[in-house]
């Protein structure tokens, strides 16, 4: 975990120098997810989205943070938004797969 904490410190310093750096906010969120600090990761994603609403990675990792917090409907909506932003990329294919997996789980829960 030490490397994630060190990386988080680096991204915090980068953000202090350039607070509107969308990628730095997203990478900060990724480090926080690795450190299991999901609420803070969600806040970082929301900051990134406030700066760049069409930044698909911010929406993807927002979905991950929400999923880890057990907020599945909101996670689904974030994954959906990420797919819509970047539909043809390889990452979007993964996001669509995640979205399909989530939908399958949701249906199984409803039909139990």
The CB density around residue 20, as the number of other CB atoms within 10 Å, is 12
The tokens for 40 are 């803070």
Distance CA 56, CA 63 (A): 11
Distance CA 74, CA 20 (A): 25
Asked which of 23-27, 61-65, 103-107 is least confident by mean pLDDT, the reply is 103-107
Distance CA 94, CA 12 (A): 28
pLDDT at 89 over 90: no
Q: What is the mean pLDDT of residues 57-79?
A: 92
Where does residue 36 fall: left (phi above 0), alpha (psi -120 to 50 degrees), or beta otherwise?
left
CATH number reported for the structural domain that contains residue 73 in this entry? 1.25.40.10
Higher-pLDDT residue of 56, 41 = 41
- 59 phi, psi to nearest 5 deg: -65, -40
**pTM to 2 decimal places:** 0.79
Number of domains in the chain: 1
Distance CA 43, CA 54 (A): 17
Q: Give me the domain span that covers residue 78.
A: 2-110
Q: In whole angstroms, what separates CA 2 from the centre of its chain? A: 21
The model's pLDDT over 26-44, given as tens digits with 9 standing for 90+, comes to: 999 999 999 999 999 999 9
């Amino acid at each position: 975990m030490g490397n994630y904490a060190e990386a988080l410190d680096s991204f915090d310093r980068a953000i202090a120098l350039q607070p509107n750096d969308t990628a730095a906010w997203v990478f900060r969120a990724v480090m926080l997810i690795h450190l299991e600090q999901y609420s803070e990761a969600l806040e970082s994603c929301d900051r990134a989205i406030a700066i760049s609403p069409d930044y698909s990675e911010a929406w993807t990792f927002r979905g991950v943070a929400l999923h880890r917090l057990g907020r599945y409907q909101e996670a689904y909506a974030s994954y959906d938004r990420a797919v819509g932003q970047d539909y043809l990329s390889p990452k979007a294919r993964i996001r669509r797969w995640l979205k399909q997996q989530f939908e399958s789980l949701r249906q199984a829960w409803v039909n139990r």
